[in-house]
Chain A
Amino acid sequence: MNWVTQIITVSVVLLFNLYILRTLRRELIDYKYALVWLFAGLNMLVFAIFPNFLSFVASKLGIGLPLNLLFFLAILFVLIICFRINITIANLKRRVYALTQHVAVLENKIRSQDPSDESKA
């Protein structure tokens, strides 16, 4: 890797990490998720600063092209995150449904207790 490329990668990864930290500081993301992203970000930083480390690990694992290891890890990470997000969405959906139903039941109760309201509509 030539040094221009390395400077670019290192700065992009640094920016990424700073962005996560800033998001965390503004309380726009839960620690639960921020930690996962920080873990990924720091790993990227290691690989960006020591590109030879990637080649070393790749050769130990019997992967010919180091970049393939990177792609493999990256895609794996993204898959896991996507799946986790699906779980989170399903969970949120369940809660929204339960809330909507309970609001409706309570609203019905209020309406039936206050008959003067019916004529207004």
Chain B
Amino acid sequence: MEQVLRPESLVGEGVDVKKLIIIPAFNEANSLVVLVDEIIKKAPDYDYVIVNDGSYDHTSEMCIEKGLNFLDLSLNLGIGGAVQAGYVYARHHGYDIAVQIDGDGQHDPAYLDRLIEPLVKGEADFSLGSRYITKEGFQSSVLRRLGIKWLNCIIRLLTHVKISDCTSGFRAVNKKVIALFARNYPYDYPEPETIVDVHRHGFKITEVPVVMRSREHGTSSIRMFKSVYYMIKVSLAMFVAFFKRR
């Protein structure tokens, strides 16, 4: 049953590596323009796709007007469904690497190359951008950090992989994980659960230090009164994910 999967190195293919940035967006048209400009400036060799998750602001119109590449979801699917749409797109167009970036400007595209480096070298299948390795930049509130620590512990208990920022939405995956995510991705609060999922399928996970900015627009998807539900749901989901069949 134990399957030894070695991540494939993409070195040598060099320029042929097709890289996609997935940007889930819900009612944040204004920060999207800034983000896409930044991507074009700092990471010109990446393609991007905005996933408009049924926004009711002018996201869709703005994307058409500015000629931005975007997926227009006709229903609001939530963060999990929106991100998965990006992976479906990535698989459909045969991308080698897909990177997730939040639409609210928390993640700096300058770190993209560092994030995908382990994938390009074939050292990992899944690369996570963590703000808690160098502990620079935006660190979030004490309570949130505590919650993240708890979830990190569960992940370590289940997978023996040491993760410092399991809720990070700044992550990169290779072709095999793109196929997995396009097929199967959790709907709500997917970040920590996907780590256990990816590990269960025998893929290699690594973490890369990044610096995050505080949100320029919008709010976190996890608000105060929802946080208790969040912790219970995510903890349970990870245990269940661990015991799921392949």
Contacts and interface: CB of A to CB of B under 8 A. Distances in A.
Are A and B genuine complex partners? yes
Interface of A: 93, 96-97, 100-105, 107-109, 112, 118, 121
B72 A102 contact: no
A108 B64 contact: no
Contact of B81 (A101, A108, A109, A118): A101
A101 B65 CA distance: 22
Contacts of B89: 104-105, 108
Nearest to A94: B187
Contacts, number: 48
A121 B64 CA distance: 7
A100 B73 contact: yes
Contacts of B74: 100, 103-104
A96 B75 contact: yes
Contact of B72 (A93, A96, A104): A104
Contacts of A121: 61, 64-65
Contacts of A93: 187
A102 B183 CA distance: 12
Contacts of B49: 108
A111 to B, nearest CB: 8
A104 B71 CA distance: 5
Contacts of B160: none
B64 A100 contact: no
B61 A100 contact: no
B70 interface: yes
Interface residues of B, number: 21
B69 A112 contact: yes
B84 A101 contact: yes
B153 interface: no
Contact of A105 (B64, B77, B81, B85): B85
Nearest to A115: B67
A97 B74 CA distance: 10
19 contacts: A93-B187, A97-B81, A97-B84, A100-B73, A100-B75, A100-B77, A101-B88, A102-B88, A103-B74, A104-B51, A104-B71, A104-B89, A105-B71, A105-B89, A107-B71, A108-B69, A112-B69, A121-B64, A121-B65
A118 B64 contact: yes
A120 to B, nearest CB: 9
A118 B62 CA distance: 11
Contact of B85 (A101, A109, A112, A118): A101
A17 to B, nearest CB: 38
Interface in B81-115: 81, 84-85, 88-89, 92
B67 A101 contact: no
Interface string B43-86: 00000010100000000010011010111111101000100110
A103 B81 CA distance: 13
B67 A118 contact: yes
A78 B70 CA distance: 45
